[in-house]
Each structure stands twice: as C-alpha cells, then as structure tokens.
Amino acid sequence: MAKFHVIVPAAGVGARMASAVPKQYLPLLGKPVLAHAIAACLQHPRISSVTVVLDANDAYWPSAGIPPADKLRVLYSGGATRADTVCNGLLALDAELHAQDWVLVHDAARPGLTITLLDRLLDSLQDDVVGGLLAIPVADTLKRADVAQRVLNTEPREHLWQAQTPQMFRYAILRQALAAARLNGTPTDEAQAVEALGYSPKLVAGELRNLKITYPQDLPLAAAILQADQQA
Ligand SMILES: Nc1ccn([C@@H]2O[C@H](COP(=O)(O)OP(=O)(O)OP(=O)(O)O)[C@@H](O)[C@H]2O)c(=O)n1
Ligand SMILES: C[C@](O)(CO)[C@H](O)COP(=O)(O)O
C-alpha cells in the first residue's frame, strides 16, 4: 500500500517579508511559523514521515524550540530555489520511497494547514494516478496592469485557481518532473513541473486559512485565524 511522506522546503530567505529572521522562524502565537506549518502533518495518523529541509547554514532551528518527534527529520540541504530544496529532500529519502508512494510538499510558510484539509487532499487523490494540490478559486475581478500601474484590461477569471500546498504527487512522477524542470527553468510549484511532463494535476478545494506568509501584513492575519481556532 502506498505511503504518504511530507517534505517541507524551509530554506527560503523570505525577501518579500524583509524580516530580521527568515519568516518561517517568526513567532506566531508563541511558536515559530514553521512549527504551526508542520503540526497537522505530524499529528496526522496516515502521514508516515515529515522531512524539513533547511538551508545548509541555518542557525535558527536549534533554538526554535520545535520538539523532536518520531516521524520528524531535519536536513540541512536546502538549494538555491524551492525546486532545488525539494529535490534535495527527495534525494535523501530515495532509499525508502517506492515509485507509487505519495510525496506531499508543504510550504514552511503556511501555518494554517489542518487535519481536515489534509484528509480532503488524501481522500481526493489517493486513488489518482498522478496527484494534485490544494487550491482556491479566484474570487476577485482580475486586472492586468501596464508598467505605470494603469489597467490594460480585465482578465476573465473563470476556471482560475490560486495554488496552495500541500501539493501531492506519486514519488516517481515528482522526481522525474523536478529533475526535468531543473534543466528547463525554475517552476514556482511542484504542479508546474508535473504539468510540463504532460500530466493534469487535480485541484482540490483548499481554504483561505491556509494562506502563505509572504508580506508583513500576512502574519497578523494568520494569528487571527489561529487564535479563532484556539477559542473555538
Ligand atoms: N531556495 C528556497 C526558496 C524557498 N524555499 C521555501 O519554499 C517555500 C515558498 O515560499 P516563498 O514565499 O517563496 O518563500 P521565500 O522564498 O522564503 O520568500 P521570498 O520569495 O519572499 O524570498 C517557503 O517555505 C520557503 O522557505 C526553500 O525551501 N528554498
Ligand atoms: C508553492 C506556492 O506556495 C503555491 O502558491 C508558491 O508558488 C510558492 O511561493 P512563491 O511565492 O511562488 O515563491
């Protein structure tokens, strides 16, 4: 039976966040963002392992206070791009993964993932040949801008979705896709690399709460969402 393994690329510098420490280590309700991001995966009974891939020179993990766990492992082998970081994680797991096993790639900067969202993803995709990703349909009117930030035109939004993570693919397909993508360009997510092989990943309904911390204003939003959970 195919197993479910999680890789968490956590080697980014968070340039758009422009904080003193990388955003995955910023405090969020008393714990680093990264601790929230991996919590649901660690708790989920169907997830076999969670591998966090840090920058080779990461100096923050030892003092981040993230407790060890049986299925948690930490690698200091991040790459120059997210795709490189994920590839390095896959390489380290190669000996224990089978071609049909599932790999879920989840951003270290998405602290709002829940067991419910993971269940939805796993249940929707476990019998799929390829895999897919959490995503949410675009809800606003879309404008294309010129260089002066004036509207060129309004883009149709039908059938447009915003990609989230986890992105879940069969190990053999993901490995092949990322190896090819590294030669041909830099995909911004795993699905893009898989699409380039000619596959059509399935979109599974995500939720706004699974937002990515990208800009400073995202952190208080995430805090409000998680605080509401604690009060519920
Ligand atoms: N070389 C890289 C670049 C990104 N990431 C990870 O990929 C995820 C993507 O989120 P993103 O917002 O792009 O993170 P950063 O690259 O850190 O942010 P920025 O683009 O603003 O620098 C994050 O978990 C980030 O740590 C990574 O592991 N290795
Ligand atoms: C993978 C991703 O989270 C999907 O939305 C996102 O593409 C990664 O971050 P970036 O902002 O594209 O670098």
CA of 146 to the centre of ligand 1 (A): 27
Q: What is the mean pLDDT of residues 157-168?
A: 97
Q: How far apart are CA 194 and CA 115, in angstroms?
A: 25
CA of 12 to the centre of ligand 1 (A): 4
What's the Cα-to-Cα distance from 179 to each of 50, 116, 214, rounded to whole Å?
A: 21, 32, 27
Considering only CA atoms, which residue is closest to atom 1 of ligand 2? 189
Reading the block at residue 176, the tokens are: 């092949």
Q: In ligand 2, which atom is closest to the CA atom of 167?
A: 1
| Interface predicted TM-score (ipTM) over 0.95 | yes
Q: Residues enclosing ligand 2, CB less than 6 A?
A: 107, 163-165, 188-189, 212
Q: How far apart are CA 178 and CA 124, in angstroms?
A: 23
Q: How do residues 64-88 score in pLDDT, each as one tens digit?
A: 999 999 999 999 999 999 999 999 9
Pairing of strands 72-76, 47-54: parallel
CA of 1 to the centre of ligand 2 (A): 30
Closest ligand to residue 21's CA: 1
CB 111 within 8 A of CB 28: yes
Q: How far apart are CA 214 and CA 4, in angstroms?
A: 27
Q: How confident is the model at residue 52 (pLDDT cuts 50, 70, 90)?
A: very high
Give residue 83's identity as a one-letter amino acid code. Answer: A
CA of 187 to the centre of ligand 1 (A): 12
Specify the pLDDT at position 177: 96
What's the Cα-to-Cα distance from 115 to each of 32, 42, 47, 111, 166, rounded to whole Å?
A: 19, 10, 11, 12, 12
Q: Is the pLDDT of residue 43 over 90?
A: yes
Say what the pTM is. 0.97
Q: Is the pLDDT of residue 183 over 90?
A: no
Q: How do residues 119-161 score in pLDDT, each as one tens digit?
A: 999 999 999 999 999 999 999 999 999 999 999 999 999 999 9
Q: How far apart are CA 71 and CA 17, in angstroms?
A: 30
Domain 4-231: which topology?
A: Spore Coat Polysaccharide Biosynthesis Protein SpsA; Chain A (3.90.550)
Pairing of strands 31-32, 27-28: antiparallel
Residues paired with 143 in a beta bridge: 154
Average pLDDT value for the chain: 96
Specify the pLDDT at position 55: 98
Q: How confident is the model at residue 184 (pLDDT cuts 50, 70, 90)?
A: confident
Displacement of CA 161 from its chain's centroid (Å): 16
Q: How far apart are CA 205 and CA 191, in angstroms?
A: 15
Q: How far apart are CA 50 and CA 217, in angstroms?
A: 28
